[in-house]
Structure 1
């Protein structure tokens, strides 16, 4: 691993036996260290730690409490990496992280039970640094648009489930208020 390597979210940086993830890094299901943000890899060989320093450190204006909309880029058992594209109605472009503990007040076994890559979510920012951490615990927050995991068509809300009218698949998500597609 090089100390000056530029990386993007999801890019493999090594394996968990090589270093401890400190900031901007997570461990996937297979034990690979992966970047959470666009930035530069910093490896401390003495402490055996790895960090990804965000490429953009300027003040970005997002602060705790702001409502955002984001697309889910990737999902693991315990986190989802998001691209925040809207904050309080204004277009933005930030990285976000949703941890499984910020999904519900009740126990959630895996993120796959509540959202999938490609889903659009409405969330609340809970920190003021990059990558922005978000929560969908509050009532009304959650998935507001989704596509079928089987065929890729739009999922329509039918009660508390999502249904595909093309292939008939029924899926679960943490559905937010204002879900865009409702089965009539």
Structure 2
């Protein structure tokens, strides 16, 4: 095992190509992270396996959980708090956009009939660059947790709709098939 520190010279760029945790400068390869040096002779690649966990990166196709931060006429802004299947939480404040055309397979004329501010939603990442674009068209995607817009009590699913047992109000949302089962 070979421990590297950031800035350590590892090899010439003529011998290896830089992999994760390695960068090239002036024809030389250097460690970008503290960790274990891994030499992949088959692919002639050098990489550094981090000694500590690195910030979480979000990729297209991943499922994310987030809170509806704001709603406009044609889109909702979602604060992403977790990537499903990964133990580590998102470390920085990451906002994604959910356009009205990507909310449901059905036609959506009013976003407020699909999502409300502070709803907890599950979405799929469509794009990460230049901005995070989300999609909730699939059945597993949509609202996974919500509160009554009047009394703020937790809403329950009754006959396919959200129902408040406290104030007896029904609310429409684009429900995930996993409503009430997702924990942050």
User: Which consecutive aligned stretches of 4+ in structure 1 deviate over 6 angstroms post-superposition?
Assistant: none
The answer to whether residue 79 in structure 2 is matched with residue 77 in structure 1 is: no
TM-score, L = length of structure 1: 0.63
Question: What corresponds to 1:117 in structure 2?
Answer: 117
- How many residues in Structure 1 have an aligned counterpart in Structure 2? 123
Write the mapping of 1:99-178 to structure 2, written as runs, cut at 5 A. 99-129=99-129, 131-178=131-178
Q: TM-score of the superposition, structure 2-length normalised?
A: 0.63
In 2: Cα distance, 1:62 partner to 1:101 partner: 22
Give 1:130 deviation, angstroms: 5.1
1:97 aligns with 2:93: no
State which structure, 1 or 2, has the greater radius of gyration over its C-alpha atoms.
2
Q: Secondary structure of the residue that 1:126 maps to in structure 2?
A: strand
Does the residue aligned with 2:127 lie in a helix, a strand or coil? coil
Measured after TM superposition, the shift of residue 64 of structure 1 is 1.2
**Two-structure CA RMSD over aligned residues (Å):** 1.7
The 5-angstrom pairing of residues 12-23 of structure 1 reads: none
Shift of 1:72: 0.4
- Note the C-alpha offset of 1:69: 0.3
* 1:77 and 1:112 in contact (8 A); partners too: no
Deviations 1:92-143 (Å, cap 9, x if unpaired)?
1411111100011221002111010010000000002253110000121100
CA distance in 2, matches of 1:142, 1:156: 15
Q: Which structure 1 segments of 5+ residues have no match?
A: 1-58
